[in-house]
Amino acid sequence: MSYLIKPKNYNAFLNLAETEMGIKKIKDFFQQNLSSELRLRRVTAPLFVLKGTGINDDLSGKERAVTFPIKDLNEAKAEIVHSLAKWKRLTLVDYAFEPGYGIYADMNAIRSDEDLGNLHSLYVDQWDWELVMSESERNVEFLKEIVTRIYAAIVRTEYLVYEMFPEIKPILPKKIKFIHSEELLQMYPDFTAKEREDAITKAFKAVFIIGIGSKLSNGEKHDNRAPDYDDWTTIGEDGFPGLNGDLLLWNDVLERSVEISSMGIRVNPQTMLYQLELTGTEERKNLYFHQRLLNNELPQTIGGGIGQSRLCMFYLRKGHIGEIQASIWPEDMREEALKAGMILI
């Protein structure tokens, strides 16, 4: 179901022309900083992949990929990508990157099963990145190091926006707060997962929640994760499972937390088999990507996606993602958004 949040007393700082200028500057500056921070080379990404290879991501396992037949391949089906987590790992083999180096790409996708609203669109644009790492770096501290470097690029970009538009004051803290999803549950045992995210992010403004996918002490998962890219079962030095997580920023306009990035250390053959077993999806191990991993043909990596439109929403203090990107919206949402001061492109 679509749902529109109407920000109180909303008045956009920027007009349409200024917004477009801001989007361009933000995207150029941030990706340059991301590339420098993590030593990433830009590569061209696919819009679609062949169905049945295991290369496309299943996200939480419920979303349907947009498919179409290919005439010159005997009507074989292609799928619009959901993200590039597995494709990137395969691509790193072709480029023969050493540990400490990687790639990033502009990922464009269609997610037709999204519940449309201020933060969710049919169209998804993000920077998908992947970095080769050593097996010895499969630990929570290395995950935190990478998150800290990404957050540094986020903070620098916020200051660029302030230089362009002085009326938009910086609000991000210098350091990001790290917390495990189990610790968060213990802090707010009577809250839902989303309520816990809002509470912790409102308090610290920028938060990285570690360990998403495994069941917590209450028998529930903080959120679902596919079993074959992020490692969410390995027990870290902190005694909690999970080498992945979500980066959240507090959105003052919407008065709620917003996920900007989902990322993690990727599965090795052992953890993938274990997570496939846990989720009852063991048949996937026969697919192309999974066989490559099981045959030790893929490097150990860490990677994730960073939402471009959501990041621009945050920087430019916009109330709806449709003020940043062109997409399709229910007509009643478009009309109600306009009444609330949000002009959807």
Q: 27: helix, coil or strand?
A: helix
Q: 245: helix, coil or strand?
A: strand
Beta strand ranges found along 13-158 (DSSP E): 40-42, 48-50, 67-70, 76-80, 102-110, 123-132
**What is the CB-side half-sphere exposure of residue 48 using CA atoms within 13 A?**
14
Instruction: Say which of 58, 130, 228, 246 is annotated catalytic.
Output: 246
Q: What is the dihedral of CA 286, 292, 294, 295, to 10 degrees?
A: 120
Instruction: Say which of 35, 83, 121, 126 is annotated catalytic.
Output: 126
Amino acid at 189: P
Query: How far, in Å, are 108, 117, 155 from residue 94 at the CA level?
Result: 22, 39, 33
List the 67-70 sheet strands across, edge first: 48-50, 76-80, 67-70
Instruction: Say which of 83, 181, 262, 300 is annotated catalytic.
Output: 262
Instruction: Say which of 57, 230, 231, 323 is annotated catalytic.
Output: 57
Catalytic, 126? Answer yes
Instruction: Say which of 259, 284, 292, 334 is annotated catalytic.
Output: 259
Q: Please, is 71 exposed, middle or buried when counting C-beta atoms within 10 Å of its C-beta (0-12, 13-18, 19+)? A: exposed
Q: Which pair of tokens denotes residue 296?
A: 């030790």
Q: Which pair of tokens denotes residue 257?
A: 């937390």
Instruction: Say which of 89, 111, 266, 310 is annotated catalytic.
Output: 111
Catalytic, 283? Answer no
CA gap 94, 73 in Å, rounded: 24
Catalytic, 57? Answer yes
Q: Point out the residues that are catalytic.
A: 57, 111, 126, 246, 259, 262
